[in-house]
Amino acid sequence: MDRYAMLKQRVYAANMKLTELGLVILTWGNVSEIDRENGVVAIKPRGIEYADLTPEDISLVDLDGHPLESGLLPSVDLDIHLELYRNFPGIGGIAHTHSTWATAWAQRSIDLPVCGTTHADHFYGDIPCVPYPSPEQTDEDYERFTGKLIVEEFHRRKIDPMQMRAALCSAHGPFTWGKDASEAVEFSYILEEVSKICKLSEQDGAVQRLPRHLLDKHYLRKYGDNAYFYQTK
């Protein structure tokens, strides 16, 4: 499995970045990345504190969740990641945290509204909060149904996962994704900050959503066909 050493290193580095950014404590999170050409997913192992994690500890599985080498068991959230990889073919990395501000929104079981241009620079609209699994789904396969509910909510609302790289799982916490593990973590960090900003904005009363023309301008100038925000596209 030496050919996957770089994949493991990237996933290890992304997981450690969560601690550096203050988005996780103890074992409260996980990051994965997929090698779509070979159908391999690398993910943080379950129940391992970040202080004890090494690149060699990162678990490798196929898209059915079967381990590809002996070693530590993958994250208990593996099936959530796999559901997203199977149904959102454009994504290459996923991050899950229980970061304070984003998790607080998830525990309110409401969408995170797009209140300002900071939010609109990165997420094209309100960040959806998806329902939690039913008692039957929880008993049958909690993690898989959690992933399915994210996918179903995006399909129901006709949300493009490449324009909305985040979801709040009701009463649980946030998931973010990107082109690779590193970008998924970046969106976790951004999500935490816009969650905090929006909540602080509510202190003196309800906040208004950003007008559509400003949402379009701020998101599309970075990610649209005629984007001009960066030095190069």
Query: Which residues of the chain have a pLDDT value below 70?
Result: 1-2, 233
User: Quick one: three-class SS letters along 37-56?
Assistant: CCCEEEECECCCCHHHCCHH
* pLDDT for the residue 203: 76
What is the predicted pLDDT for the residue at 233?
Answer: 55
CA-based nearest residue to 209, from 115, 125, 119: 115
Q: What is the pLDDT of residue 99?
A: 97
Query: pLDDT tens-digit profile of 137-166?
Result: 999 999 999 999 999 999 999 999 999 999
CATH of 2-223, one of 3.40.225.10, 3.40.605.10, 3.60.20.10, 2.60.120.1060: 3.40.225.10
- Sequence ranges of the domains in the chain: 2-223
pLDDT at 3: 76
User: What is the distance between the alpha carbons of residues 113 and 201, in angstroms, rounded to a whole number?
Assistant: 11
Which amino acid type is present at position 104? A
Q: What percent of the chain has pLDDT over 70?
A: 99
HSE-CB for 74 with a 13 A CA cutoff: 27
- The reported pLDDT for the residue numbered 205 is 72
**Any bridge partners for residue 24, and if so which?**
none
Closest CA to 6 of 53, 81, 49, 58: 58
Pairing status of strand 93-97 against strand 59-62: unpaired
CA distance 137 to 1: 35
Tens of pLDDT, residues 5-34 = 999 999 999 999 999 999 999 999 999 999
